Each structure stands twice: as structure tokens, then as C-alpha cells.
A and B are shown apart, each in its own frame.
Chain A
């Protein structure tokens, strides 16, 4: 949404998908890779992401973006940093996806580490990306109807 994307009129996304910055466990990596699958492959140009760190520091443009677009927060752990930081920026959290909860259905699976995903990790990532995309399509449709 910023570097190289200053001309927002040409590339204005309809939905913002914001992963957490989780650095300690595989859940954070899955949240980010699922978001990239949506922004880069499933809904390019219609869904974009924003650096969570920009919200932490109160960046004006980032705050404006989360206030003017429906946001999907994708959090790795129960601390819900993405959701909370969007809310603290007075943004609109339309959907909150919790990777930690979603992964419970893959009982016994090894997803990889904080830096690498196993095959099971990539499979779970794609499932979560599908969940995000479905929610994003719903939000996009609602926005169009409005």
C-alpha cells in the first residue's frame, strides 16, 4: 500500500488483509503466507496488505487505510496483535481469523517452524487463504452493493 504504490487511484484495493508479525512460532508464518496467497494469487489488485508496524507507530497513511477499508485481521496466536492494532488505529475489523484455532482441526500435524513450512504447513496455509478469500469476496460484494 505504500512503496511503489503511491498512486492509489489506479490500484485501490477493496479489502485490506492484515497478518500479525508473529516471529516466534509457525503460526505467524502461516498467517503471512496465507495473506500473500490472497493478495498475490487469489485476489491481486482487489486485496492488499499493510505493515502492522506502521499502525504501531501511528503512520497517518496506514491509519487512513484501515479506517477506510474493511479489514480482515489474520492472527497467529491468541494475543491477536493484528486485530488489536487495527482497532487501536480506529480501523474497521470486519473479520478476525485466528490461525491458532484453525490449526486445531489438523490434529497431530507438523506444520514446520517459524521460518519454514512443511508440506502440511503449506496445505494449512492454502486452507486459511481460502477462508480469507471467501470472507474478502463477501466483503467486496457487500461493498459493491452498498
Chain B
């Protein structure tokens, strides 16, 4: 994976339909958990409501669009206002009949939605990998690490990164790992470090010589995460606390 240029992902986010919700959640899953180091996104309506720097998005990043229906608004909107799309994905082509069992509101989410998001996110991540391999080794994004959107669409959530020897390092799956451990009742502090390290090392390559650095950094990041959550566990939906 290169390098500096990040792959852009634009979801249609279609608010009317469940497939639109799937595009958004799958995109976030790729950004936060599957490929946090190599992807950025932007709200599609910013192509019209934003400024020139937002409209440069697809010219700065090889871009994947993810659409919820055959109208292909994300693809058409991106090409109309920003630049050529490299990969166009349509949820119904990927998930088929599964979409009919999904919901547009998180209040109604169940296992069908969760599985659909996982499958779609995996497909997007595979396309990210293909595009990344095609990026020249020395190509450098003008704004690595962020998009130009003022609402921070492209920035990973704070819990996706740790401070390692003075550097900001993105760790695959870290928000999911922290949420899981928090849900399991793991308390922050010195006693949590080994468990956080072991879990993180399943998803993120940690060399033996770096383990001690990671141990401290992950424990500190987990403590900060727990502070942000306060006493309450995050819930995806009031109805489905297990999701």
C-alpha cells in the first residue's frame, strides 16, 4: 500500500432508502476500521454547497463511489462536479436481495443490517487495495491525512490513532477494539495494557521490538477513550444493545 495518496470514498448516503444508510455505514467502517490509513471521504452534497477545494476531491484522490440505487447519484454527482471516478459500486449489485431486509434508521437495525454493512465494507476495502496498488510509489497527496472539508469528514475518529514515540499512528480496527473491550467491562489503567495489546495485534502488525512502545501507547489511548465515553457504553440502537 502506498504511500501518501489516499483513496477517496464517496457514499450516496441516500436518506430515503435503507441502501443509502448501508453506503454510509460501510464507508465509515472502511475509514475507521478496515483501511484508516489509506482512505478519506467527503459528504456528496458538499460538491454543490462547498467551495472549490471540496470540488477538487476526485482530482486529488482516486475515488470509489458507493451508490444505493440505480440512479447512481454518487457517481454522477462526483463526475459532474469533481472528477473522474475510478470505481463505481452499486449496493444492489453486491448485496442483492439482502437489501430488502435492511432498515434506513438505526432504531430498527438488526443482524441483517450488520451483516450487510460488513459485506459491503469488505468489498469497498478490496477496491481500496486494488486502487492503492496502482498508485505510483512516489505520488504524494497535497493534503495527506485530511480532506479539505470543514466538518472533518475525512479525518479518522480520535480513537483510530495512537501517539507512538511522538508520531500519530493509525491502528486498524482500534475503534472497534476499544468499543468491544469497553463493552466487556475492561477497566482502563495499568492492568488493561496487555489485553489491549494482544487484541490490537490481531488486526495490526506489531513487531516484537515495538511491543513495549505499543503497550504504553495503547493503554493511554484506551484510557482516553474510556474517559470520552464516561460511564455510558455506546449503543448502536436502543433496541439492539448487542450490536
Q: Which residues of A contact B (CB under 8 A)?
A: 1-3, 18-25, 27-29, 32-33, 35-37, 40, 49-57, 59, 76-82, 84-85, 88, 110, 112-120, 122
Cβ contact within 8 Å between B24 and A116:
no
Given A49-B15, A113-B234: A21 in contact with B44 (beta carbons within 8 A)? yes
Residues on B with C-beta less than 8 A from A79 are: 43, 46, 49-50, 149-151
Q: Which 4 A-B pairs have the closest CB atoms?
A: A24-B153, A53-B73, A81-B45, A21-B13
Docked pose: A37 CA to B238 CA in angstroms: 13
Question: What are 18 A-B interface contacts by the 8 Å CB criterion?
Answer: A3-B69, A20-B43, A21-B11, A21-B24, A21-B45, A24-B155, A25-B151, A33-B107, A35-B15, A36-B105, A49-B15, A56-B77, A81-B45, A84-B45, A84-B48, A113-B175, A116-B236, A117-B236
Given A85-B45, A118-B235: A57 in contact with B16 (beta carbons within 8 A)? no
Q: Which of B190-198, B201-209, B225-233 contacts A (4 or more CB under 8 A)?
A: B225-233
Residues on A with C-beta less than 8 A from B16 are: 1-3, 49-51
Q: Which residue of A lies closest to B75 (CB)?
A: A57
Given A23-B27, A36-B107, A77-B151: A57 in contact with B76 (beta carbons within 8 A)? yes
Which parts of B172-186 form the interface with A (CB within 8 Å)? Answer: 175
Of B12, B151, B152, which one neighbours A51 at CB under 8 angstroms? B12
Residues on A with C-beta less than 8 A from B232 are: 110, 118-120
Cβ contact within 8 Å between B105 and A114:
no
Cβ contact within 8 Å between A117 and B106:
yes
Q: Is B28 an interface residue (CB 8 A)?
A: yes
Cβ contact within 8 Å between B11 and A23:
yes
Q: Is B47 an interface residue (CB 8 A)?
A: yes
Query: How far does the Cβ of A91 sit from chain B's closest Cβ, in whole Å?
Result: 13
Number of interface residues of B (CB under 8 A): 54
Cβ contact within 8 Å between B104 and A53:
no
Docked pose: A83 CA to B151 CA in angstroms: 16
Cβ contact within 8 Å between A24 and B151:
yes
Q: Is B80 an interface residue (CB 8 A)?
A: yes
Query: How far does the Cβ of B72 sit from chain A's closest Cβ, in whole Å?
Result: 8
Known: A24-B149, A28-B151, A117-B106. 17 other contacts (CB 8 A): A20-B43, A21-B11, A21-B13, A21-B15, A22-B43, A51-B13, A53-B13, A53-B14, A53-B44, A53-B45, A57-B80, A82-B45, A119-B232, A119-B235, A120-B232, A122-B235, A122-B238
Residues on B with C-beta less than 8 A from A77 are: 150-151
Q: Which residue of B lies closest to A22 (CB)?
A: B43
Residues on B with C-beta less than 8 A from A114 are: 28, 157
Cβ contact within 8 Å between A56 and B15:
no
Cβ contact within 8 Å between B48 and A88:
yes
Residues on B with C-beta less than 8 A from A33 are: 105-107
Please encode chain B, from 48 to 81, with 1 for each CB lying within 8 Å of some chain A CB and 0 for all others: 1110000000000000000001010110110011
Q: Which residue of B lies closest to A28 (CB)?
A: B43
Given A25-B152, A118-B234: A54 in contact with B46 (beta carbons within 8 A)? no
Docked pose: A106 CA to B228 CA in angstroms: 15
Docked pose: A2 CA to B15 CA in angstroms: 11
Docked pose: A8 CA to B242 CA in angstroms: 38
Residues on A with C-beta less than 8 A from B46 are: 79, 81
